[in-house]
Structures are given as C-alpha cells and as structure tokens.
Amino acid sequence: MGDAACELIATIPIREYDGVMSPTNRSTTTNPPASADAPKAASTVGMAKSLATSMAKWAAGGFQTLPQEIHDARLSACEGCKYHEAPRCTLCGCYTDRKAWLPHEDCPIGKWPG
Ligand code: SF4
C-alpha cells in the first residue's frame, strides 16, 4: 500500500476507535444546529461505509489524485462553508484536505467547483 493510501486510511474518524483511544485524543467535533430542511450530519456508521466505498473507488481508479489547483479550489469552498469545522466536514465526516484530492469525491451539497 502506498503512502497516499496510508494517509487516507489514517483519516478514519477518531470516533471509530472509541474503545481504544485515550480520553485526551478524542474528537470534540460538534454538529451544526438541526432544522427540518438542513442536511444531516454524518453518522459514525455512515462515515465508516463512506470511507470503505471511497477507498474501493480510489483503488479501482489506480489511486489517482487531482491536480493541485483543483484540490485548492475545493478546499477554498470548504473554508467558507458553515459545515466546515477544520479539518473536517460535519456533513460527510471527511477530512476535507484529504477528500479534496480524490477525483471520485464530491461535496454533499454541491459547493465544490465541477
Ligand atoms: S465538503 Fe461541501 S459541505 Fe463539506 S465542508 Fe466542504 S463545502 Fe462544506
């Protein structure tokens, strides 16, 4: 497995490891306020499924990454987004800096440039 694959696997949400992590390094991410028509924050199970699916798609695509300028444009959109709690998106649970490199990924509310 290459370095890039290892880095992405390292982005598995900390909450996935609640049974083994120490109290000092747990995530304190909070979700945005809920409203009837607001997008829902990612669940732990949903994030795990999404990560597995994303890794499979990335592997099937030969572990390709996007050019720097597309990555940067995506991150720029995240930085101004109300769902971004750096370093993660509270909607999908992904680490945006890592997700922004992957050609098959997209923003859950369509804010990334196409
Ligand atoms: S991926 Fe989309 S919803 Fe999530 S923080 Fe970035 S712009 Fe916002």
Ligand 1 and 78: CB distance under 6 A: yes
Q: What is the pLDDT of residue 34?
A: 58
32-41: average pLDDT: 70
Ligand 1 and 90: CB distance under 6 A: no
Q: Does 54 have pLDDT greater than 90?
A: yes
Ligand 1 and 50: CB distance under 6 A: no
Q: What is the pLDDT of residue 105?
A: 96
Kindly report the pTM of this predicted structure.
0.68
Nearest CA to ligand 1 atom 1: 107
- Listed residue (103, 95, 92, 88) closest to 7, CA to CA: 95
What's the full length of the chain, in residues? 114
- Listed residue (70, 96, 74, 71) closest to 85, CA to CA: 96
Q: What is the pLDDT of residue 14?
A: 37
Cα of 89 vs centre of ligand 1, distance in Å, is 6
Q: Does 40 have pLDDT greater than 60?
A: yes
Q: What is the pLDDT of residue 20?
A: 34
Ligand 1 and 77: CB distance under 6 A: yes
Confidence of residue 33 (pLDDT cuts 50, 70, 90): low
- CB-count burial class (<10 Å; 0-12, 13-18, 19+) for 56: exposed
Considering the chain, what is the average pLDDT of its residues? 78
